[in-house]
Structure 1
Amino acid sequence: MKTNQFRDLTILELSPEVNLAIACDSSASIGEKEHDTVKVDPGVTAACCLRVPLFELICVGAKPISIVDVIGNELEPTGKKMIAGIKREMKKAGLEDIPLNGSTEENMTTSMSSLGITVTGQFTEGFIKPEIRADDYLFQLGEPLVGPEVVANLDSLCSYSELYQLKSETGVADLLPVGSKGMKYEGQLMASENELSIVFHRPDERQLQQSAGPSTVVLIAVSAKLKSEVVKKHPHLIEIGQFKHV
């Protein structure tokens, strides 16, 4: 078995025909417990935590096939609320039929919410590393939000349907969800992976470095030749930069 790392994913090449990708995320101090920093329904916490690995897998073309949650709290009531949130998010992503397994903490009393989620995905045609070319454009889908801002804007976060549509576009060269490191870091990562540089022309430096929490932003690399076609079909995308030779 061959193993390699791509961004935050572990890629397992079990055979020429079977390639898996493993993605994970964690959340702590966000919930309804005494020492939680952000007070919110644990179901929302769990849904946002699941969103991150699902977005990571969808963006590279891996179909999620199993989900495992590790809940560092008791089943009743916190665990049940988290599991319900996970199942709602699975349905939202059209994945309600894949296996869900997990564990809760029944031996210790906890005063802070804690959750980890691991999702396994499978490639139908093997893993193909995205290729971005000089003069391709970088677009932004969604706005960088974190903590209470995410809770206040749950209904307007970029959706799974948008992600699936963009992934199917011929003119889209690469997709990368943005988390705590911000758009500038992730955009530069996309560039360096292709031995390119990136010139940002918007938004401002503060927004470029702002955390995007649970993947509230997705960066989209668009072919220069097919830019107008993609923009016409997805007018809500915001152009923020262009890739150049180093």
Structure 2
Amino acid sequence: MSARVGVITFPGTLDDVDAARAVTRSEADAVPLWHGDQDLKGVDAVVVPGGFSYGDYLRCGAIARFAPVMTSVVAAARRGMPVLGICNGFQILCEAGLLPGALVRNDRLHFVCRDQWLRVENNTTSWTTRYDEGADVLIPLKSGEGGYVADDPTLDRLEGEGRVVFRYVDGNPNGSRRDIAGVCSENGRVVGLMPHPEHAIDALTGPSDDGLGVFFSALDAVKTLVTSA
């Protein structure tokens, strides 16, 4: 039986179809989840995709974190379900308290859209096991509020616990502290990153197919969780 990975759609979500395509390319079943429905439909993992949920009113992700579906996602994540937040999804996971820190306006106050090199700092999370630690991957980045910030004690803790998952290389595009592009929860099952791995699943249409590793890693994680249950 194939793994079932839920992909949430909020009002303003842009990349749910791309995320679902990436899930399908990883040989899992993509299951659509609606923001107003608490039912996760028995999925094994969840992707919170990018876009402008609720028009980014108040603050990016600030309204989406109160959506009925997020009540279920937070509860499932705390029980150990793998959850991935991409771009706006990363913002939502931070707002929901599943990941530390926050995402703020890019330091140059401009929307950034470019292919971005990232270094894989942690390959033990539910979403990164298919990568070699220290590998450089090329992933598209597109965001206006992508600067990752946290206070120094939090950053020190993340660094010390190995919870920085991805780091920008060849230039920091948005002013993120310590060049951080993605972080994870304490158990490594919840990951958020600003760049878009779902846009790098085919070298013909993206800058690379480096993003596939994220989704294949989740498939491995789900199989491990099922086996150990």
**TM-score in same-fold range (> 0.5):** no
Q: TM-score range by the shorter chain?
A: under 0.3
**What TM-score, normalized to structure 1?**
0.24
